[in-house]
């Protein structure tokens, strides 16, 4: 199956009610440690497959079937030219808010409010201002949906392509439908890579993480870039499934990924300040690190 066939077959697939449903599923797999019911055994929190929504399961079937090495390389060649649109970051947030779905029963927050809750939680804990900015922009890559990309090419747990799939990735059984599954080189432990080559040499499945990393790599300190690029790489930062591809630098910088992840997943503040109150701070922060307009 070539890339054009893949795009044609899945262009209109939208099994999730909304993009945030994937993150709700992540919360079921990795609940907030502070909120865990002590009477419930730890292993019961990993028994999510019995209760996962059909739409989430179908999402992962599509994701694991179509995220091939060739697909990733095509999307990089297409989107990393950043020739789709150019606009100020504030217009980009308005653009992103077009993804709000009224069918979501769990939240009435738009994308901007989720980003502000994440960034404000980071700010309130006294972290560096560039990390606050990471909280604000970490999901900006979801604009890929507005460029016509299907859900499975925008969100989802990320993983390396071009090497064997770990059984620590959610629903690993669906990889048997991926054309790369029958490629002996791609299904060896190291695949096209070398031992401890470093993640910068590894091609990750395509989605909003990889896209926003490349968009920001000239503007944000390296620890922040790791947060952007790997915040959905749960098979590594939660399961340590790809240590054989990581080098010492990766292990050191993943401490920042682990620091960021709880702010992304668990920052839900019903008493969030209004945008009018927060606007002066964030306008100054954005102007400190980013150009007047961004290319998408």
38-57 mean pLDDT: 57
- pLDDT at residue number 211: 98
Structural tokens at position 151: 């859900």
Q: What are phi and psi of 33, to 5 degrees?
A: -55, -35
> Confidence class of residue 30 from pLDDT cuts 50, 70 and 90?
confident
Strands 294-295 and 86-87: antiparallel
The Cα 296–Cα 162 span in angstroms is 26
pLDDT in tens, 261-271: 999 888 877 77
What lies within 8 Å, CB to CB, of 119 at 6+ separation is 132, 133, 134, 135, 136, 282
DSSP state of 174: G
What is the reported pLDDT for 25?
A: 82
pLDDT at 46: 41
Residue 93: band (very low, low, confident or very high) from pLDDT cuts 50, 70, 90:
confident
Q: Is the predicted pLDDT of residue 37 greater than 70, yes or no?
A: no
> Angle, to 10 degrees, between the axis of helix 208-216 and the axis of helix 222-230?
160
Q: Which residue has the higher pLDDT, 240 or 46?
A: 240
| 229-232 LR contacts (CB < 8 Å, sep 24+) | 229/204, 230/158, 230/199, 230/204, 230/254, 230/257, 231/138, 231/257, 231/260, 231/261, 231/264, 232/155, 232/156, 232/157, 232/158, 232/207
Identify the CA nearest to 247 among candidates 211, 206, 193, 204.
193
DSSP-derived 3-state class of residue 262? helix
Kindly state the DSSP code that residue 99 receives in the 8-state scheme.
Answer: G
pLDDT at 74: 98
pLDDT reported for residue 110: 66
Spans of all domains in the chain: 3-295
């Amino acid at each position: 199956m070539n890339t054009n066939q893949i795009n044609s077959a899945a262009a209109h697939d939208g099994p999730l009610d909304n993009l945030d449903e994937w993150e709700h599923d992540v919360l079921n797999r990795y609940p907030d440690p502070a909120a865990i019911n002590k009477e419930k055994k730890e292993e019961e929190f990993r028994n999510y497959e019995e209760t996962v929504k059909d739409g989430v399961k179908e999402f992962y079937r599509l994701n694991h079937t179509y995220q091939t090495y060739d697909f990733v390389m095509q999307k990089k060649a297409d989107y990393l030219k950043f020739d789709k649109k150019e606009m100020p970051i504030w217009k980009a947030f308005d653009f992103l808010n077009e993804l709000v779905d009224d069918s979501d029963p769990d939240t009435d927050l738009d994308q901007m409010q989720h980003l502000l809750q994440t960034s404000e939680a980071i700010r309130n804990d006294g972290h560096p201002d560039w990390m606050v900015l990471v909280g604000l922009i970490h999901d900006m890559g979801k604009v890929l949906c507005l460029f016509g990309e299907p859900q499975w090419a925008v969100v989802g747990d990320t993983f390396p392509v071009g090497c064997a799939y770990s059984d620590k990735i959610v629903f690993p059984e669906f990889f048997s439908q991926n054309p790369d599954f029958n490629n002996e080189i791609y299904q060896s432990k190291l695949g096209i890579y070398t031992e401890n080559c470093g993640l910068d040499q590894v091609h990750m499945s395509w989605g909003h993480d990889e896209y926003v990393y490349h968009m920001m790599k000239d503007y944000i300190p390296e620890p922040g870039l790791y947060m952007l690029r790997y915040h959905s790489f749960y098979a590594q930062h939660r399961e340590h499934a790809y240590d054989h591809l990581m080098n010492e630098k990766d292990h050191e910088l993943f401490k920042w990924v682990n620091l960021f992840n709880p702010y992304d997943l668990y920052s839900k503040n019903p008493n969030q300040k209004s945008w009018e109150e927060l606007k002066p701070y964030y306008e100054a922060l954005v102007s400190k690190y980013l150009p007047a307009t961004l290319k998408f």
